[in-house]
C-alpha cells in the first residue's frame, strides 16, 4: 500500500490571499518546516497564473524531496511536472486523469460516503479521500459532515483494496489524533495550517502540525 505522510497540506490560493500571504512563500515555508506533501488548489486563478504558481511550487517541492499534487487540473499538473492530481466526484474521472498524466503519477479521488468509496476502489486511483469529516467554511462541498464513524468505514473499504485514506474537512490540531485513530492514514489540512495569531509564523504552525501527526 502506498505510504502517505500523515500531514497532507493543502495550499488554497484564495484562503492564503484572504490572510494576506503569498502562496509561493507559504509553500516555501511549509517545505522548510518539513512538510512532505502539498496540494495546490486554485479554483479562481486564470490558467496562466495557475501554471506559473504550479511551476514555482513544483520546483520547490522537487528540491525539497516533497510530493506535489495539483487539484483538479490534470493539464497543469502534466505541464509543471507535478507528482499527481486530486479530483472530486464532479471532475475528470481518474481514468481520464491518467490519460493526461500517465500511469505512474498519483491520482487521488474525493468521496463522501461508503458507496462512493467502494466505487473508487475499482478505479485507477492511488488513494481515497473522505470528507468533510467535520464542518468547514473553507469549501462549500454541498455535503454534510461525515463524522469519525464514516472515516472508520471508509478506512476499512480503502485498506481492503490496498489504498490509503486521506481525511479532510474541519480538521484542527485538537481533532487530529482522533481522526488518525479512526483509521485515516493522512490528514488534509487547509485553514488550520494558516496561523491567525500574529505571533505564530507559518513555519511554526506547520511544525506544530508535524509534531502532532507524527507523535507516537
105-115, pLDDT tens digit by residue? Answer: 999 999 999 99
Nearest-angstrom CA–CA distance, 44 and 135 = 22
pLDDT of residue 41: 98
pLDDT of residue 144: 79
Angle separating helix axes 23-33 and 47-64, nearest 10 degrees = 20
pLDDT of residue 143: 61
pLDDT of residue 197: 65
Neighbouring residues of 84: CB distance < 8 A, sequence distance ≥ 6: 67, 69, 70, 77, 101, 105, 106, 107, 108, 126
pLDDT of residue 74: 98
Catalytic residue among 139, 186, 191, 205: 139
Nearest-angstrom CA–CA distance, 178 and 74 = 33
- 133 DSSP assignment: S
| Active site annotation includes 139 | yes
Residue with cell 481525511: 167
Contact 158, 194 (CB under 8 A): no
Tens digit of pLDDT for each residue in 163-201? 999 999 999 999 999 999 999 999 999 999 998 766 789
| Active site annotation includes 41 | yes
Nearest-angstrom CA–CA distance, 19 and 17 = 5
pLDDT of residue 165: 98
- Grid cell of 187 as nine digits: 490528514
Catalytic residue among 110, 126, 186, 191: 110
Q: What is the mean pLDDT of each run of 10 residues along the chain (216 residues)?
A: 96 93 96 98 96 98 98 98 97 96 97 96 98 73 79 97 97 95 97 81 95 82
Contact 171, 188 (CB under 8 A): yes
Neighbouring residues of 201: CB distance < 8 A, sequence distance ≥ 6: 29, 195
Catalytic residue among 28, 41, 73, 150: 41
Q: Is the pTM of this model over 0.75?
A: yes
pLDDT of residue 195: 81
Q: Please report the domains of the chain, with CATH numbers, ordered by start residue.
A: 7-214 (3.20.20.70)
162: left (phi over 0), alpha (psi -120 to 50) or beta: left
Amino acid at each position: 500500500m502506498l505510504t502517505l505522510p500523515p500531514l497532507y497540506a493543502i495550499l488554497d490560493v484564495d484562503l492564503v490571499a484572504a490572510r494576506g500571504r503569498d502562496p509561493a512563500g507559504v509553500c516555501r515555508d511549509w517545505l522548510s518546516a518539513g512538510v512532505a506533501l502539498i496540494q495546490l488548489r486554485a479554483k479562481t486563478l486564470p490558467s496562466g497564473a495557475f501554471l506559473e504558481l504550479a511551476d514555482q511550487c513544483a520546483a520547490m517541492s522537487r528540491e525539497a524531496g516533497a510530493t506535489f499534487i495539483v487539484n483538479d487540473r490534470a493539464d497543469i499538473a502534466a505541464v509543471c511536472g507535478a507528482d499527481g492530481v486530486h479530483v472530486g466526484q464532479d471532475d475528470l474521472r481518474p481514468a481520464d486523469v491518467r490519460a493526461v498524466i500517465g500511469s505512474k503519477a498519483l491520482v487521488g479521488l474525493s468521496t463522501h460516503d461508503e458507496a462512493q468509496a467502494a466505487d473508487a476502489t475499482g478505479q485507477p486511483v492511488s488513494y481515497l479521500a473522505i470528507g468533510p469529516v467535520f464542518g468547514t467554511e473553507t469549501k462549500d462541498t454541498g455535503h454534510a459532515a461525515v463524522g469519525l464513524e464514516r472515516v472508520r468505514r471508509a478506512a476499512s473499504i480503502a485498506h481492503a483494496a490496498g489504498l490509503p485514506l486521506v481525511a479532510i474537512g474541519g480538521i484542527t490540531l485538537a481533532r487530529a489524533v482522533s481522526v488518525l485513530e479512526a483509521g485515516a492514514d493522512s490528514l488534509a489540512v487547509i485553514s488550520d495550517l494558516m496561523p491567525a495569531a500574529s505571533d505564530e509564523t507559518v513555519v511554526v504552525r506547520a511544525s506544530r502540525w508535524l509534531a502532532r501527526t507524527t507523535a507516537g
